[in-house]
Every structure is written in C-alpha cells, then in structure tokens.
C-alpha cells in the first residue's frame, strides 16, 4: 500500500505565517503616534514660520554681499594706513556717538569697520558701522550693524524676523516653542518610520494617503538629524530653556570664559586712559601699539579692538572669525604701557563652551560658510514640505465630510507601568528645563484626559489600537 505524499500543487493551501511577536516597545507606539500627530498638528504653524524665515536667513548672507558691496569692498592698494588714521577719518565724517570697537580690514580688498555706539537714530543694542578704505582713508559709507557676526540692515531684519517676528521678547516665545517641539516631532516621526515594515515605507507605485505618508516619512527620516541639531542649538540661546542651559553649564564649570579687561595696578594704572575711556583710543598706548601687541601674541585677522570701558580697564583685542577653523583667542592690553596683561585661548575653553560656540555658529550658518547656508536652506525646504504633507495626511484621514478624523484615545492605558513611569519622569525633567515643551504638553494631557472622561460619562469612550494607523 502506497503512502507517498502527493506533490504540492498551486491549489494546495499554504499554512498561514506565524504572527510576529510584538516588540517590547510596541505598547509605546500608539502613544508616540498620538503625540506626533497632535504635536505636529498644533505646532506646525510655528514651525512653518520658523522654516520660511530660516530659509530667508540662509540666503541673506550672500544677498548682503551684493547689496552692500560698495561699503564692504575696495580696490586693493599698495599699503594700508595705520588703524589710528583710519579711525580718525571715520570720526571726522561721523563725530557722533562713542567709539565702541574697530575691526581692521580682515583681508586685501576689504574695508575697515569703525563701530560707534550711542548714535541718535540707531537701535541702542546696535552700532553704527563706518566703512573706511584702509588704503586711502576714504569713508565708503555707514550702516547699522548688529551682533558678533557683523550683520548689516538686510540680514539684521531677516534675523529678527526669524528670531522674534519683530515683536521683541514676547515674539521670542514663538521661536522657542518651535525649537522646543521640533526635536520631539522629528524624533517621534523617526521612531514611527523605522518601526514600520520595510514594504510599507516605499513611495514608488503608491497613491493617495499611502504615497503622502511615504514622502513624508522618507524625507523626514533623511532630515531628522538636521532637525534634532537645529532644535538643540536653537534652545541654547532661547529665553527660558537657554537660561537653564547656562545655569547647568555654570554649575558644571563649563561656562564660556572671558579675558580679564582690568588694567593692572601700580603707579601707571589708569594713567592717560581717563580721557580715552569710551573715546577714540587716541591716548595712552593708542590703537596701533595695542594692535601690534596683539599681533605679537599670534592674533591674526579678523580681529576686533575694544577700547577701555573706563579709566581702570584695558583694551581687549579678540579674534572674531566664526567660520571653520574658529578663531576666538583674545588678549587684554594695558592702555598705559601697551603690554599684554591677560590672554585667553580658544583651545583652553571648556568642552561644553566649545560645543556651544560651534553649535551656535553652525545654526546661524557661518561655521562652514556657503556650504552651511545651502544645507540649512535645504533643511528649511524639507520642513516646509513635511508640514504640507502632514496636513495633507490629516485631510486624507477624514471619512466623507469628516475633516481630519482624530486618532482614537486610549494610548496611555496601553502602556505598562514599567515603561510609563520612567517616561513620565523623563517628561517631568524635560518639562522643567524646557518649559515651552513641558507646559503645552501638560495642557495637552489635561485636555485629552478631560475630554476622555466626558466621553466616558456619556458612554462613548473608545479605546483602540493605533499601531497600524501610520
């Protein structure tokens, strides 16, 4: 009797594949999805403003060179005049205000900037930059300047639009809110994308909401690292989170050091400086001798010379190159003798101080020049596209006339305590250090719980897994 097993045919049913065992993080996925969805929905308008203004800022560096080419550049001459002579020419044309700093021409064909503070009609936080031809002493013009990077009116206007929408300190809350939530949205989206099966990530051959999701997820995954960086560096000089970061760095001994501008004691202390304090630097050692002393200590261009603040202070000469490699060395020079009294080298900065400096300069688009600016322009464009695709997916989630059908509640209830308790502790700590993340998140949770309780009392509360929604 034959017991041979008949050969398999196309009609032979195949046993179902065993269901994949859920990962340990599976209970968290609905919670991450719900947070990503609502955070993106509510914070996206702020992120869109930040992205558009950031895109404009990335292009403002090159635009500035074109718009202010007459003030910034001159024909290369044979020999530069002494810095003191250039300052004298600037002060003859603009006697108003007080000399606050001098930036000698950093390279052949560039102008010298003589910075004046307290000028009528100039913002108190800005200076008037007088541009002087270093070869002839001709004044090429004067423009309002802001910040350590020497932003001129065009870039200053765009910078303030990006930072505070020209609304002052109140307006800065918008940019801090965007920076506080960008890393949460980007990180959550990254986790959701890579937790999906590979077959569900493809874009080619798809349509409708699945195609929108594919584009949104793919571009978001590629840009997520950049978004995380922008969020972290943007928070370092924000109003509230930035203050906490500064306190933490100080407590760890990682604050940014500064050169001591106190003039040395002795019979020469303050001699010849009272008249020049806050003046034109024409008394005591003088600008030329001070600059020569700094050069002897290895401070190459570009540099900025800051006159003594009062009769008991020294000149400070510091390098101001924010592009790679950074030049941030500084020296203090006795105004009476022209001798260096203190030195500070960027190489001696604490690690966190260096990282903060590099992070801010990279965020502001100066660390790697035009490459830096192009990269951030692409990140801004990516964020604009992601926001558009995100809202489109919200629309496509609707059924019939229902616009943007919301995700079902119940995500918190599905998370086991051994995951939920540590997560809440982390959220509490982050909420303290980043209040514009913590306060809105607490408000969202409170409203969500409240609405859930109302629905429960009305007998309409539904808990559903959202693991397959996105």
Q: What is the pLDDT of residues 31-50, one digit of tens each?
A: 788 888 888 888 999 999 99
Interval 427-467: pLDDT, tens: 888 888 899 999 888 888 777 777 777 877 776 555 444 44
Q: Who's near 434: CB < 8 A, 6+ residues apart?
A: 180, 235, 240, 241, 244
Count of beta carbons in the 10 Å neighbourhood of residue 105: 22
pLDDT band at 292 (very low <50, low <70, confident <90, very high): very high
Peptide bond preceding 265: is omega within 30 degrees of 0, i.e. cis? Answer: no
Q: Who's near 215: CB < 8 A, 6+ residues apart?
A: 203, 385, 389
Residue 265 has pLDDT above 70, yes or no: no
| 65 neighbors 108 (Cβ within 8 angstroms) | no
Q: Which residues pair with 333 in a beta bridge?
A: 315, 340
* Averaged pLDDT score across all residues of the chain: 86
As given in the structure block, the two tokens for residue 229 are: 């960086």
Q: Could you tell me if residue 338 is left (phi over 0), alpha (psi between -120 and 50 degrees) or otherwise beta?
A: left
Largest CA distance in the chain: 123
414 vs 19, residue with greater confidence: 414
As given in the structure block, the two tokens for residue 177 are: 């809110």
Residue 25 has pLDDT above 90, yes or no: no
- In order of their start, the domains of the chain are 25-68+152-256+371-416 (no CATH), 75-148 (3.10.450.40), 259-348 (no CATH)
Interval 348-376: pLDDT, tens: 999 999 999 999 999 999 999 999 999 99
Residue 160 has pLDDT above 50, yes or no: yes
Nearest Cα neighbor of 327 from 292, 371, 357 is 357
**For residue 94, which phi and psi values (nearest 5 degrees)?**
-135, 80
> Mean pLDDT, to the nearest integer, of 22-30?
67
Q: How far apart are CA 354 and CA 371, in angstroms?
A: 21
Q: Enter the DSSP assignment of 322.
A: -
């Amino acid at each position: 009797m034959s017991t041979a097993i008949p050969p398999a045919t196309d009609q032979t049913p195949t046993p179902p594949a065993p269901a994949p065992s859920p990962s340990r993080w599976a209970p968290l996925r609905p919670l991450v999805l719900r947070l990503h969805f609502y955070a993106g929905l509510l914070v996206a308008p702020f992120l869109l403003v930040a992205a558009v203004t950031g895109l404009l800022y990335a292009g403002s560096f090159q635009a500035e060179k074109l718009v202010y080419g007459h003030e910034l550049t001159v024909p290369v001459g044979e020999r530069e005049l002494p810095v003191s002579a250039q300052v004298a020419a600037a002060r003859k044309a603009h006697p108003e205000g007080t000399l606050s700093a001098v930036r000698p021409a950093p390279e052949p064909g560039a102008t010298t900037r003589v910075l004046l503070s307290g000028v009528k009609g100039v913002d108190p936080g800005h200076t008037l930059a007088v541009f002087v031809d270093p070869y002839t002493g001709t004044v090429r013009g004067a423009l309002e300047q802001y910040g350590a990077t020497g932003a001129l009116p065009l870039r200053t206007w765009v910078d303030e639009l990006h930072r505070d929408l020209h609304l002052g300190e109140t307006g800065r809350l918008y940019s801090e809110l965007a920076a506080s939530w960008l890393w949460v949205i980007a990180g959550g989206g990254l986790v959701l994308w890579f937790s999906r099966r590979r077959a569900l990530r493809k874009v080619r051959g798809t349509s409708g909401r699945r195609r929108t999701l594919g584009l949104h997820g793919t571009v978001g995954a590629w840009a997520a690292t950049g978004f995380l960086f922008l969020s972290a560096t943007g928070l370092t000089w924000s109003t509230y989170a930035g203050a906490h970061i500064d306190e933490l760095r100080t407590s760890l001994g990682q604050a940014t050091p500064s050169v001591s501008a106190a003039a040395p004691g002795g019979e020469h202390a303050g001699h010849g400086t009272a008249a020049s304090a806050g003046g034109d630097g024409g008394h005591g050692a003088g600008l030329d001798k001070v600059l020569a002393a700094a050069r002897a200590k290895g401070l190459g261009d570009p540099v900025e010379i800051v006159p003594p603040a009062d009769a008991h202070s020294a000149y400070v000469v510091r390098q101001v190159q924010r592009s790679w490699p950074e030049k941030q060395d500084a020296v203090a020079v006795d105004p009476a003798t022209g001798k260096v009294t203190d030195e500070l080298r960027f190489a001696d900065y604490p690690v966190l101080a260096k990282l903060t400096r590099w992070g801010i300069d990279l965020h502001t688009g100066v660390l790697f020049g035009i490459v830096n600016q192009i990269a951030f322009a692409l990140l801004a464009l990516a964020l604009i596209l992601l926001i558009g695709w995100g809202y489109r997916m919200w629309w496509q989630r609707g059924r019939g006339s229902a616009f943007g059908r919301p995700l079902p509640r119940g995500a918190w209830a599905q998370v086991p305590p051994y995951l939920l308790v540590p997560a809440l502790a982390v959220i509490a700590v982050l909420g303290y250090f980043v209040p514009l993340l913590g306060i809105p998140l607490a408000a969202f949770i409170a409203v969500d719980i409240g609405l859930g309780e109302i629905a429960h009392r009305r007998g309409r509360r539904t808990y559903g897994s959202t693991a397959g929604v996105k």
